[in-house]
Amino acid sequence: MKGFFLAVTLLLTCGICFAQHSDDGGGIKRLNNYRDSLILLGKKFVNDSVDMERKSANYAFIKTLVSALRVPHSFNYSFDSVKSISVLNAPDNRFRIFSWHIMNEDGSYRFYGTIQMNAPDKLLMYPLEDYSPFLKSAEDSVTDNHKWFGAQYYKIIRSTNADKPYYVLLGWKGNTVRSTKKVIEALSFDREGRPVLGMPVFEGNSKGRKRVVFEYTRQASMLLRYVPDEDLIVFDHLSPPDKKMKDQPETFGPDLSYDGYKLKNGKWTFVDNLDMRNIPENRDADYVDPKKQALIDKGQVPVQRRIKQ
């Protein structure tokens, strides 16, 4: 826990807002150098077998990332070759989100991230502080970036037909040695431009939700993806292997049926028993496990395996 707060402090003290001076002409070269360092550090915090070595690499990664984002016009620089993290631009290019995870020694996860705003003359970013262990009712909570329900995101959806425009994020959330989670997160910005996480826009399925959280056995894969032509978020229906285990989500798995949330009048309405034969395929939604990708980059895995979203 002490190490986590050190990492958060690095983000807070190094990265909230800096003036960006005119480029000296060497910006791309500097960014390339930072990128190369991030690639090496990312492989280390994904693959090193020693817990403290992974965490040390992560702290160095955070410092290097903040230094890179201080470079003028860094918002326009792609970090897509840094396979250990997810970097997603909003559809309207208003911001982008960096997110990643570190596996703890006990098989649980800690998540890290930051929102970089598209500010032309300064670095404006909001560090995301993983508050997951303390959110007792995540689906009913509205928080700020200091109380983030940590996840590694792979899709951003902009909801435009609402009174207040907002974004929906799909994320993977490794949980424990027994279960995995995924999340549908709502992101908006207040009048001062600060991020707000959670919003009462998910309706149906027994109650309204401010975010949607799924939990299932770690041995299973779960589909969770967006179908843009249908304005639909589709996902596996999860159920226990036995009715006696209905209160044990760590035993749940897909039962070969599908549910979803359909966008209607700015809110997402639950629909069940979707016919997946009518849902177009979307390979872009696939999420690559960072550890597998890092091993691929080292030439240790001959065939890339994807986790079904």
Mean pLDDT of the region 234-254: 95
pLDDT of 289: 52
The mean predicted confidence, pLDDT, of the chain is 87
% of the chain exceeding 90 in pLDDT:
75
| Alpha carbon distance 86, 108 (integer Å) | 19
Residue 187 has pLDDT above 80, yes or no: yes
pLDDT of 303: 30
| C-alpha dihedral (250, 251, 252, 253), degrees to nearest 10 | 110
pLDDT of 197: 98
Owner of token pair 């860094």: 74
| Crossing angle of the two packed helices 27-47 and 51-70, in degrees rounded to 10 | 160
pLDDT in tens, 138-162: 999 999 999 999 999 999 999 977 7
pLDDT in tens, 289-300: 555 444 434 433
pLDDT of 7: 56
Residue 54 has pLDDT above 80, yes or no: yes
Q: Which pTM does this prediction carry?
A: 0.86
For 78, other C-beta atoms within 10 Å of its C-beta total 11
Structure confidence at residue 163 as a pLDDT band (50, 70, 90): confident
Tokens coding 136? 């007792």
pLDDT of 280: 65
pLDDT of 274: 94
| Alpha carbon distance 138, 155 (integer Å) | 20
Residue 61 has pLDDT above 80, yes or no: yes
Mean pLDDT of the region 247-255: 96
Q: Report whether 131 contacts 202 (CB < 8 A).
A: no
Q: Exposed/middle/buried for 169, CB within 10 Å: 0-12, 13-18, 19+? A: buried
Residue 222 has pLDDT above 70, yes or no: yes
pLDDT of 295: 42
Closest CA to 129 of 102, 159, 149, 104: 149
pLDDT of 281: 62
**Which helix or strand (DSSP H or E) is residue 185 part of?**
strand 179-189
| Alpha carbon distance 15, 123 (integer Å) | 7
% of the chain exceeding 70 in pLDDT:
82
Classify residue 93 by its DSSP letter: S
